[in-house]
Each structure stands twice: as C-alpha cells, then as structure tokens.
C-alpha cells in the first residue's frame, strides 16, 4: 500500500524520503525542499567571497602584536640581567684596584707624616734616612705595579637555545581569557526577569520584566513587547525560520524580530520544556524532568516532531538536561545529577546521538 505525503493536509502519494527533514514526501514537496536547499547555496557563495576579502586584508601585525610585545619584554628583561651582571663585575674591578690604591695612600700618608716629624724635630739619623729611602723605593715599585695592573677576565659564552622561548600554536577552540576586553556596559535586570538570552547577527533577545526586549550592538533597546505567556525556560535563534524561538513551560513560541509578534507553535507534543537549540533544519528541545528526553522538530515549512531520544540513551534516571547547544553537526548537553549533585558536559552526534566525549565539571554547591 502506498504511503501518503508526511506534510499536513497533503493527500498526494509519497515519492521519496527527504534527506533534510527525513520525511516521506510527495514529488511537489520534494521539489519544494530541494528548491529551498539550493536557494541556500547562493548565500554560502557570498560568505566565501566575504571570507576571501577578509583574508586579503588580514593585518598580520595586529594578530601577532601582543605576542611580539611579550617577546620584546622578554628581550628587555634579558638585557637588564646582562647589564646587572656587567655592573656587578665592573664594581668588583673598581673595588680590587681601590683596595691597593687605598693601601698605597695610607702608606704615603704615614711616610709623609714621619718626614714632617723629623723636619720639625731637626733631628735624624742615617738609619732614618736609609729606611725612608727604602720605603719610598718600595712605594714606587708598588705604584708601578698598580699602573701596570692587568686583570685576567674569564668570560664564558652566554648559553642560549631555542627552548628559552617556546611559541605554542593556539589550540583549536581554546578560549584565551586574557584576550577578553573589559565589560563595555551592564544591563541591570530585576529579579522577576527570566535569565535566558539569545542572539542573531543583529540583535540579542532578553526578558526585561515585564517585557521581551531586543537590544542592538550598542546595548540599546530597539524593540520590546509585553510578555504575558508565563515562564521562559530557554530561547534560541533559527536562521531558517528567521525567528527567535522561545521555550515556555509547556509551549513553544516564535518571535518576529521586525514586528515583535508572538506566535504559539501548535505541536502534537505537550511537554514540560527545559532547553533548546537549533541547527539549520532541526529544533532540539530537551524536557525539564528526570530523566530528560530530547525531541527533534523539523524547521522546514512546518514545525513537526521528527523523533525523540529518551532514557536510557539521554541520561540515567536521576539526571536531567540543563542546557543544549548545537554546533557543526554535534550536540552539547549539560547533564545534572540530582542525587550526586554533579554536572558534566557531553558531546554527542546530532544525527545518531552517539556519545563523542564527556567531561565532568568540578562544580560544588549545586542546588
């Protein structure tokens, strides 16, 4: 028996499985989906061209500026250390010579004082004269030695190798907190405001009790509308729908950034929602329960349930999914354990839900 098209109110016979929404569609809807996919190629070409322009105008000096500054600082510190050793050794040289000069000076004073005493007394002996002559002769010899002093300086080459300075390539996806700029400005929110926020490339959306507000890049409110639909559990942006998606307690809402109209999405599944995230074609929504499930909804033409990932695949019985993020074909889940009071982040394949890695977070005092 032939199967009908999966699109609501379409009575035509399904002709094939659509690879973007994984639904059996008639020929007309297959063509519509194909046209929609092809239409997404032109913006990709524009993005590639824009990236090529950015690459041509890339300011390499700006990129390496901070690192070059650190190298220069290291060089100056090395110079200071060499200068310090140089000054220290120069002082040692002066000290060695000054010790001999001081001894000679003291001896000259003593002999000069002796001669003065003999002259004042108008009395001397041949022995005194011979002793003075001998002493002066020795002083001359000592002076000649001082003047001809030549120190032997033993120096060793300054040992250096490439390991004195190691340049580490940046780790992919590594966050360098030192590059974060100071806070530009702060938005003060009341305790009644729901904490979720999201953004697209133009605005970011937050709940500022009692309104839902759009802010621009300068942190100015550009649009707002009264929010009277209860608690907001999460929100995300869908480029396919060109809408913000807001997850309520039991409902899913679409927000038009141009008109700020709120549309309630009618789905066959009424759940206690927890978190959400989007790919280009799919909305992922987790349930706020123990254990949590993850539901997938197609974003092509209509929002309809595709499948549901349940316990024990998602998590164990006393665990819930607190947050979800989609990126590059993968789904990141923040999983919280009610009994163990622990939190971990899991990365899973968005298509198969196969685990890729898991990281336990060292977080205490979990409510």
pLDDT, tens only, 79-128: 998 899 899 989 988 888 888 888 889 988 988 888 888 888 888 888 88
Cα–Cα distance list, 184 to 197, 214, 220, 229, 343 (Å): 18, 18, 12, 32, 31
Cα gap 294→313, rounded to integer Å: 10
Q: How many helices (H) and strands (E) does the chain have?
A: 4, 18
Residues 206 and 334 placed together within one structural domain of the fold = yes
Closest to 335 measured CA to CA, from 303, 367, 358, 302: 358
pTM score: 0.54
Local confidence band at 174 (pLDDT 50, 70, 90 cut-offs)? low
Q: What is the mean pLDDT of residues 23-46?
A: 86
Report pLDDT for 152.
Answer: 81
Q: What is the mean pLDDT of residues 234-251?
A: 93
The residues with which 81 forms a beta bridge, in sequence order, are none
Report pLDDT for 238.
Answer: 93
User: Are 23 and 6 a contacting pair, CB within 8 Å?
Assistant: yes
Report pLDDT for 245.
Answer: 95
Residues 263 and 309 placed together within one structural domain of the fold = yes
152 falls within a domain = no
Of 105-109, 249-253, 267-271, 336-340, minimum mean pLDDT range: 267-271
Of 16-20, 51-55, 123-127, 129-133, minimum mean pLDDT range: 16-20
Q: What is the mean pLDDT of residues 251-268?
A: 91
Q: What is the mean pLDDT of residues 51-65?
A: 86
Local confidence band at 322 (pLDDT 50, 70, 90 cut-offs)? very high
Structure tokens at 50: 């824009």
6 falls within a domain = no
287 falls within a domain = yes
Residues 52 and 118 placed together within one structural domain of the fold = no
Per-residue pLDDT reduced to its tens digit, 134-159? 888 888 888 888 888 887 888 788 77
- Please check the confidence at residue 353 and state whether its pLDDT lies above 70: yes
- Please check the confidence at residue 53 and state whether its pLDDT lies above 80: yes
Kindly report the backbone phi and psi dihedral angles of residue 285, in degrees, each rounded to the nearest multiple of 5, phi listed first.
-130, 125
User: Are 306 and 298 a contacting pair, CB within 8 Å?
Assistant: yes
User: Are 211 and 224 a contacting pair, CB within 8 Å?
Assistant: yes
Structure tokens at 194: 């729901």
Report pLDDT for 3.
Answer: 83
Q: Which residue has the higher pLDDT, 327 or 268?
A: 327
Q: Which residue has the higher pLDDT, 231 or 70?
A: 231
Count of domains for the chain: 3
Report pLDDT for 93.
Answer: 87
From 146, 179, 208, give the residue that closes a domain.
146
Report pLDDT for 145.
Answer: 85
Report pLDDT for 74.
Answer: 87
Output 141-150 pairs: Cβ under 8 A, ≥24 positions apart: 142/100, 142/104, 142/107, 143/104, 146/97, 146/100, 146/101, 146/104, 149/97, 149/100
From 115, 146, 177, give the residue that closes a domain.
146
159 falls within a domain = no
Q: Which domain holds residue 130?
A: 73-146
Going edge to edge, which strands form the sheet with 232-238? 232-238, 243-248, 252-255, 262-265
CB burial of residue 313 (10 Å; 0-12, 13-18, 19+):
middle
Local confidence band at 170 (pLDDT 50, 70, 90 cut-offs)? low
Q: What is the mean pLDDT of residues 211-236?
A: 94
Cα gap 299→302, rounded to integer Å: 6
User: Are 336 and 315 a contacting pair, CB within 8 Å?
Assistant: no
Q: What per-residue string of b and e applies to 331-340 under the rule 16 or more CB within 10 Å gives b?
A: bbbbbbbeee
Q: DSSP letter at 146? A: H
Of 229-233, 300-304, 308-312, minimum mean pLDDT range: 300-304
- Please check the confidence at residue 60 and state whether its pLDDT lies above 90: no
206 falls within a domain = yes
3 falls within a domain = no
Cα gap 45→41, rounded to integer Å: 6
Query: What contacts 186, CB < 8 A, 6 or more positions away?
Result: none
Residues 197 and 227 placed together within one structural domain of the fold = yes
- Please check the confidence at residue 31 and state whether its pLDDT lies above 80: yes
67 falls within a domain = no
- Please check the confidence at residue 338 and state whether its pLDDT lies above 70: yes
């Amino acid at each position: 028996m032939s199967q009908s098209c999966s699109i609501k109110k379409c009575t035509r016979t399904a002709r094939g499985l659509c690879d973007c929404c994984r639904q059996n569609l008639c020929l007309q809807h297959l063509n519509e989906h194909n046209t929609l996919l092809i239409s997404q190629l032109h913006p990709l070409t524009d993005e590639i061209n824009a990236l090529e322009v950015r690459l041509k105008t890339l300011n390499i000096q700006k990129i390496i500026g901070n690192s070059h500054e650190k190298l220069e600082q290291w060089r100056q510190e090395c110079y200071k250390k060499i200068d310090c050793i140089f000054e220290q050794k120069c002082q040692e040289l002066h000290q060695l010579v000054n010790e001999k000069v001081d001894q000679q000076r003291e001896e000259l004073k003593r002999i000069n004082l002796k001669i003065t005493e003999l002259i004042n007394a108008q009395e001397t002996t041949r022995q005194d004269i011979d002793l003075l002559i001998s002493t002066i002769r020795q002083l001359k010899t000592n002076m000649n030695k001082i003047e001809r002093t030549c120190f032997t300086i033993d120096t060793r080459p300054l040992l250096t190798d490439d390991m004195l300075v190691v340049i580490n390539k940046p780790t992919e996806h590594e966050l360098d907190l030192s590059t974060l700029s100071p806070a530009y400005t702060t938005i003060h929110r009341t305790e009644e405001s729901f904490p979720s926020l999201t953004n697209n490339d133009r605005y970011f959306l937050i709940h500022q009790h009692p309104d839902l507000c759009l802010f621009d890049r300068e942190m100015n409110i550009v649009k707002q509308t009264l929010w009277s639909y209860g608690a907001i559990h999460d929100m995300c942006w869908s480029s396919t729908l060109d809408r913000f998606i807001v997850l309520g307690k039991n409902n899913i809402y679409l927000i038009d950034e141009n008109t700020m109209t709120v549309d309630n999405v009618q789905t066959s599944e009424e759940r206690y929602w927890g978190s959400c995230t989007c790919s280009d074609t799919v909305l992922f929504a987790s349930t706020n329960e123990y254990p949590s499930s993850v539901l997938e909804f197609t974003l092509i033409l209509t929002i309809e349930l595709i499948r549901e990932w349940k316990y024990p695949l998602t998590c164990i019985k006393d665990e819930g999914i607190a947050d979800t993020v989609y990126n590059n074909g993968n789904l990141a889940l923040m999983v919280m354990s009610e009994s163990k009071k622990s939190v971990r982040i899991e990365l899973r394949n968005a298509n198969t839900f196969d685990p890729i890695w898991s990281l336990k977070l060292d977080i205490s005092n979990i409510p």
